[in-house]
Amino acid sequence: MIALGIGCRRDISADAIEAVVVQALTVARLSTAEITVIATAADKQDEPGIIETAKRLQRPLLGIAADELSAVADLTVTRSDRVQRLKGVPSVAETAALAAAGRNARLILPRLAHASATCAIAEGEGPAELMS
């Protein structure tokens, strides 16, 4: 499964988020159809811009709990001091993508920043409950 992780500042538009998503997919040479899920921190899943982006891409949106983000923090490759202070993880986009990708997750594309949004892409075997 391939998970697209999104991080952003509050009240950012779907257009701004979609711009970084398009850039990330281009760099990773992936199509929207290859993305299984869009993930973000649980406290961001109600952001209108993220919700609208998921609707536009026709992919489910998954909010990842803080402890699940922290559990994969050692797999990240980029670090934002601001995000570390505010969220306790080096990158929301990377940790959300990694956590959503499930078992044996690895980053396909580290965090890419654009204006006030970030995007990362990870692949993995999916959540344990899907593996049985």
Per the structure, the complete domain to which residue 10 belongs is given by 2-131
Q: What is the pLDDT of residues 19-67, one digit of tens each?
A: 999 999 999 999 999 999 999 999 999 999 999 999 999 999 999 999 9
Predicted confidence (pLDDT) at residue 114 exceeds the cutoff of 90: no
Residue in the block written with tokens 């580290």? 110
Kindly list the distances between the CA atom of residue 73 and the CA atoms of 32, 79, 84, 106, 113, in Å, as whole numbers in the listed order. 25, 10, 10, 12, 18
Q: What is the number of domains present in the chain?
A: 1
Cα–Cα distance measured from residue 124 to residue 86, given in angstroms and rounded to the nearest whole number? 27
The rounded distance, in Å, linking the Cα atoms of 79 and 65 is 19
Q: Give the global pTM.
A: 0.90
CATH number of the domain to which 50 belongs: 3.30.420.180
Enter the tokens of residue 4. 């697209």
CA neighbor of 35 nearest in space, from 15, 52, 66, 56: 56
Instruction: For the chain, count helices (H), then strands (E).
Output: 6, 5
Residues of the chain with pLDDT > 70: what percent? 95
**Which one, of 129, 99, 126, lies nearest residue 1 by Cα?**
126
Mapped onto helix, strand or coil, the DSSP state of residue 19 is helix
